[in-house]
Chain A
Amino acid sequence: MWRVGTVVALHDETSSARTITLEVPDWPGHVAGQHVDVRLTASDGYSAVRSYSIASAPNPEKRVEITVERLPDGEVSPYLTQELAVGDRLELRGPIGGWFVWRTEQTEAIQLIAGGSGMVPLMAMIRSRAASGSTVPFRLLYSVREPGAILFRDELEKRSNQDRAVMLAYAYTRVAPKDWPRPPGRIDAALIAEATWPSKLGPTCYVCGPTPFVEIAAGFLSACGNRSDKIKTERFGPTGAKK
């Protein structure tokens, strides 16, 4: 059940998020959107398990990338983002999940909506699309607090600049760049209506982020006429026990 991965690379995406590249010799392969469970065991036997979405596209090199956001009172994320070093090993279980996935055989237009670190599994989908040579049109609406919080920023710019079928739109909730046409604020019905595929195109929509964000975004997609079986959701949140 549990495999062992060795850290081969670390890359800071933002001041609080780090991508960890693991080499997993017996990795069976994965599909974009799936996640892994990571287990840390302390010397006294206490163990903690956390789920992280796979950020990397399926690849033949047995490499799995996860992008971890450091939570202020997290138990596991501070260790993964600040102490884990190249050469260290991690226990992981997976790949997990068969619903919130994008497969390269899909031909319909795809709408991606990310809230904060919800961008990670959607990035795996964007990368998977590129690696497979798919020409399916992807539209991404990425909601973040401020420009510094954007994950994979340079890569997203590059991909959307190089490929007309990958469209990118940002929404800022707290601080927007200077001269940004839309004042900072939460996503609303108007933004969804303007920045997403028209529902009559029948896109499959993937929404990922904190629960309140997902509920609101999925609600707007539904209000725009997208059928509920075309809206796939994945909710992120802390899973450490609250006392």
Chain B
Amino acid sequence: MDIHCVTRWSKLGTTWEGVSLDTLFKDIKTDAEFAMARSHGDYTTDLPLEDLMNKQAWIAFRFDDDDLAPEHGGPARLLVPHLYLWKSAKWVRGITLMHEDQPGFWESLGYHNYGDPWREQRYQGD
């Protein structure tokens, strides 16, 4: 991975460092519309691929000038600030592209499939 693609940005007084999904997926050609982020501990969360693109998502590995600590999702976590926080999968180890959406770990147990905070989509049926 090219280190120079790493970006730093601040949000709500904290500074994160990571690689955007646009950079990571730069050379990927796909007609898949969905993605499943997979984490250690068998946690998964599903998102539309378009929500990971266009400067909306990063794989973050540093926080406030330090390596991302395990309790904050380190060594690497997905960061998708425009959706509810459970979509920002901690301890991420892979992203699987899918043609059809499948609910992830919490989505299959009552959490909303998309999770737009502006529409207060926390639980299924919201």
Contact = CB atoms under 8 A, between A and B. Distances in A.
Interface of A: 242-243
A212 to B, nearest CB: 14
Contacts of B72: 242-243
A242 B88 CA distance: 13
B95 interface: no
Interface string B43-77: 00000000000000000000000000001100000
B84 to A, nearest CB: 12
A31 B95 CA distance: 49
Nearest to A242: B71
B63 to A, nearest CB: 10
A71 to B, nearest CB: 15
Main SS class of interface, B: helix
Interface string B15-42: 0000000000000000000000000000
B5 interface: no
Interface of B: 71-72, 85
Main SS class of interface, A: loop
A243 B72 CA distance: 6
A243 B85 CA distance: 8
A242 B91 CA distance: 14
A243 B74 CA distance: 12
4 contacts: A242-B71, A242-B72, A243-B72, A243-B85
Contacts of A242: 71-72
B14 to A, nearest CB: 9
Nearest to A241: B85
A242 B74 CA distance: 13
Nearest to A243: B85
B43 to A, nearest CB: 14
Contacts of A243: 72, 85
A38 to B, nearest CB: 24
B126 to A, nearest CB: 16
Nearest to B14: A243
A204 B49 CA distance: 55
A242 B71 CA distance: 7
B41 to A, nearest CB: 15
A242 B85 CA distance: 11
B125 to A, nearest CB: 19
Contacts of B85: 243
Nearest to B71: A242
Contacts of B71: 242
A125 B35 CA distance: 52
Nearest 4 pairs of A and B residues by beta carbon: A242-B71, A243-B85, A242-B72, A243-B72
